[in-house]
Amino acid sequence: MFTIALLLLLVIFILIAVSKFNLHPFLALIIAGIIMGLLSGLDSSLVIKGLTEGFGGILTGIGIVIAFGTIIGAFLEKSGGARSIANYVLSKIGDNNSPLAMSITGFIVSIPVFCDSGFVILASLNKAIAKKTGISLVTLAVALSTGLYATHVFVPPTPGPLAAAATLNADIGLVILLGLLVAIPAALVGLFWAKYYCKDLIVDFESIPEIKQNLPSPLLSFIPLLIPLILISLKSISELPSLPFGGGAAKSFIVFAGNPVTALLIGVFLAFGLVKGVDSKTSLKWVSDSLKDAGTIILITGAGGAFGNILRVINIGDTINGLFAGAQFGIFLPFIIAAVLKSAQGSSTVAIITTAAIVAPLIDGMGFSSEIGKALLVLSISAGAMTVSHLNDSFFWVITQFSNMDTKTGLKSHTVATFLQGVTSITFLYILSSILL
């Protein structure tokens, strides 16, 4: 019981340290790991060993992948590729269905680009559409934000689900396939809320004159996104018991090309093809800036792995399983933990990484030790980490400030939409787990 109480206190410590005292999540997680180990009776040398092994272990699998993913996102953002995708989707769907077009655009763009950046890139397009069609800017903003949010939390190589997959030792390709499946109803419920509730929320705004930019073609913009996802998914399919690609050279090639490191590296070089008329110094700066962003994410992810490894070393899984013997929390436990962490401190990525560290020792006792089971747990954590986005979330303020919303309007539109997304997602996951497990 002492161990459980200590864990709860340390989770509260992480929340307060990050949200109230602005302590960096990397430091908060490392400090929590040290305290957890020492107060649980581990020798100090074992505490340090547990931290370093946990830190290095998780980054062995995903450190390079995170770096490559941020480079792809940076080139899509700065080259105008994300805007090119938006223009293409709008041209096919039409201005009258622009909320759907913005939802689809957000859904696609947020796979490699952070949702905050994606919204900033497309905010001026939202205003231009609202001015042209008379559709509420709030409707367009929420359609875009919820489309962005859906893939941001569910689909690797976004850092959150990628880190959770590594922590739970889940197959990344399977997480991508199931994540895309779960992200669809999450985006649709956000779109429904945007169209049928937010249409009556009106804000004053001036459309921003568009800056003329030579955008890459839609095909070139889609390729750095789609090729890595297809390769990683094919690798997972190739390893099914039925061996759909056989067991020879074809499978070996797919396994190599579909490894997330290889697939994302291919995506990086495809993203370089988006650049026209940009000198090598500028391209180098884009890579350097993106790697600075990746460094922070990698450190937080590694710290989550360190904290999680300490929990494994002290066998907290056995303690929790013994305490709740007979209780059937199932797919809902990771969701609840992540939702509490998300709502309390604001960052979806921190919520996902921390929850994954807590849940990892419980996998066997929860009955989710199969490959599908672990993938579903990753998505349950992700569903909780979108519930809810409000005043302590930077994404909330990006949406409200770039869409001329006051705080009350933002809470009524975007925050409620993220609540509906989370509830819809965990309900869909419960149904999926009942069918697949």
Task: Please state, as a whole number, how many other Cβ atoms lie within 10 Å of the Cβ of residue 366.
Answer: 20
What is the band of 271 on the pLDDT scale with cuts at 50, 70, 90?
very high
- Which amino acid is residue 383, in one-letter code? A
Name the range with the highest mean pLDDT among 37-41, 184-188, 346-350.
184-188
Res. 345 pLDDT band, cuts 50 70 90: confident
Taken in order 152, 156, 162, 168, the sign of the CA dihedral is positive
Q: Which single residue is written with the structure tokens 């689809």?
A: 104
Average pLDDT for 289-312:
89
176 touches 157 (CB < 8 A): no
Q: What is the mean pLDDT of the chain?
A: 89
Report the share of the chain in percent with pLDDT over 70: 95
pLDDT tens digits for range 155-185: 998 889 999 999 999 999 999 999 999 999 9
As a 3-state breakdown, the chain gives helix, strand, coil percent values, each rounded to 5, of 80, 0, 20
% the chain with pLDDT above 90 = 50
Q: How open is the CA angle 333-338-344, to the nearest 5 degrees?
A: 130
Residue 142: pLDDT band (50, 70, 90) is very high
| pLDDT(258) > 70 | yes
Average pLDDT for 388-413:
89
Which residues fall within 8 angstroms of residue 384, CB to CB, at 6 or more apart? 334, 335, 336, 337, 338, 339, 340, 341, 342, 351, 355, 422, 426
Identity of residue 176: I
Residue 260: CB atoms within 10 Å: 26
Q: Averaged over 84-105, what is the pLDDT?
A: 90
Q: Could you tell me the CA-to-CA distances from 269 to 156, 181, 286, 378 in Å, in that order?
A: 19, 28, 14, 29
Highest mean predicted confidence (pLDDT) among 21-30, 118-127, 288-297, 374-383: 374-383
Q: How confident is the model at residue 317 (pLDDT cuts 50, 70, 90)?
A: confident
> In this predicted structure, what is the pLDDT of residue 312?
85
Given pLDDT bands bounded at 50, 70 and 90, which one contains residue 209?
low
What is the DSSP annotation of 352-383?
A: HHHHHHHHGGGHHHHT--SHHHHHHHHHHHHH
DSSP H helical ranges for 20-80: 25-39, 44-79
What's the predicted TM-score (pTM) here?
0.85
Identify the band that residue 212 occupies on the pLDDT scale cut at 50, 70 and 90.
Answer: low
pLDDT at 140 over 60: yes
Burial class from Cβ neighbours inside 10 Å (0-12, 13-18, 19+) for residue 291 reads middle
Average pLDDT rounded to a whole number, residues 348-373: 90
pLDDT at residue 130 above 60?
A: yes
- pLDDT 10s digits, 232-252: 988 888 877 777 877 788 889
Q: What is the pLDDT of residues 69-89, one digit of tens each?
A: 889 988 988 888 888 898 898
Least confident of 91-100, 179-188, 378-387: 91-100
pLDDT higher than 90, residue 99: yes
Looking at residue 198, the DSSP 8-state letter turns out to be G
Whether residue 201 is predicted with pLDDT greater than 80 in this model: the reply is no
CA–CA distance, 392 with 53 (Å, rounded to integer): 32
Neighbours of 39 (CB within 10 A): 14
